[in-house]
Structure 1
Amino acid sequence: MPVVTDLDSVPLTPVYTIVISAAGEATIEGEPVEPLPGQDGRTSALADIRVRAAQRGHPIRINAKEPDGSVWPLIVDHDGAVTPLAAPHPTPAPTPPPAPVPVVPAPAPVVSAPVAPVAPVAPVAPVVPAPAPVAPPAPAPAPASDWSAPLPPHHAERFGRIVAAELQGDLVGAALAARELEGALDREYGALHPHTVGVLGTRAWLALLLQEDWAAIMRLHLRTAERRHNAQAPVDETRRVLRNARAVWWRLAAVDRAEADEIQPELQRVSDLVAGVLPE
């Protein structure tokens, strides 16, 4: 699908926020999105944004927040075209307040009165004010976490292929595109970089949606959880990945108990590694 080429032509407001929960449900500006028949929450939310774009007559800016906490700035048009951005949406310049109207006071009446002679005044030494206490310098703001930083521009096209494939319902194509992107990020930044680990989590999420091979899905989740732990990623998302791995283990056990028993020690090892994140 075509993408927006003239980004400056897209209004800076509104910017809608889509949040995808760990269960696959979606909200737009905090309001739940009713899933479309046969579609997941993300696709249904983007379909809602396309309708809003059609009503406004121009593409709309959104921030898509994934279950792992990463935020992807996107532009969505009424025809379903999705344009990933390499940087956050620009902030509109504040509107300056109107200049105050000057009030000219009416001139006071002049009253003539006799003036008493003024006695000479002894010169007064100038008063030098005491120096004001110097406040200690404010601490520098903490740098933004790499776990929420957007992908660099030269990887935006690969990420756009993941989004476009998912919008078309091609989860297999989206998973293949995510695997390709993870490989490129691994080669450039290493396996423990936040960008690489984030796309690995996207692969695990897409595999869960496909539901084709529960053993492979579980191993992918365990790899994601261990990689996140080793990279010191935010722990809340690591807990969610491990909870999903435990849920996948039960699905696997229902269809192939022998395979589930074979993987169970690996599940226990990763659970012990990330101590206490999986309640019994």
Structure 2
Amino acid sequence: MTETFTLNDGNTIPGVGFGVFLIPADGSTYAAVKEAIAAGYRHIDTAQVYLNEKEVGQAIADSGISREEIFVTTKLWLQDYAYDLAVKGLETSLAKLGLDYIDLVLLHQPYGEVHDAWRALEDFKAAGKIKSIGVSNMTPKLWQKFVPNFMTLPAVNQVELHPYSQQKELRQLLAKDNVLLEAWGPLGQGDAKLLSDPLIVSLAKKYGKDAGQIILRFENQEGIIVLPKSTKPERIKSNLDIFDFTLTDEEMEVLQNLDKGQGKHDPDAPGVGEWLLSNYDIHAFDE
């Protein structure tokens, strides 16, 4: 696989992005994004609920890299899915990021007034303020519930994905419409068992790579966009250094067989949307 993928709307997306989930907005996000851009990342993935869009935007502005070269993703929080609130939320993200347009905006969670929010994304795309639109955390069941009623097909679906949870049913469903999967938690959120899996460790020795690089390369060769996250400069660099080797067909097959078919997060579980709404208020600190 190459270092970029083409989305079903014709836009191009870098195959490796830098995620900023749980990096605080106390200067840490700014420093990490500056580090990532200096290391060669050209795809930054944030979200309204991460509360660090402003530092992401500042780091991009101060990077010395032209805006067109950097692919920026943010995500609309389900608290603001009603159409008018979604419009206001998207304008707020543009302002916080300090951008004229955002490359990709996702509906962060598939609950509540999803159709209203999607319409707002479509309108912003039509106005040129968003280049591509997509969804996140949609299982096959949730996809079938919402997407058939959308006017525009999502370009991506960002979900939990790693070798122990490979989302095979979902990938089969999305393949017919060329919808790409983005992996959050592509390293199993630092899962020690995954990173010390004997098969992965043996491949790391063979290729002179670390376990994380083997996992990310496997996912990349599977056609998945990966969003590893780290605040450690050496790890930021190594997570991007996966394009100088290629796993064989046999190695890919053995890695495919590691799939346990279950991740840590189950979007289909009852009450998830309500729990998220009651636990995450993105306006609590509004000025």
| TM-score, reference length from structure 2 | 0.28
Higher RCO (CA < 8 A, seq sep 6+): 2
- Which entry has the higher C-alpha Rg, 1 or 2? 1
Q: More strand per residue: 1 or 2?
A: 2
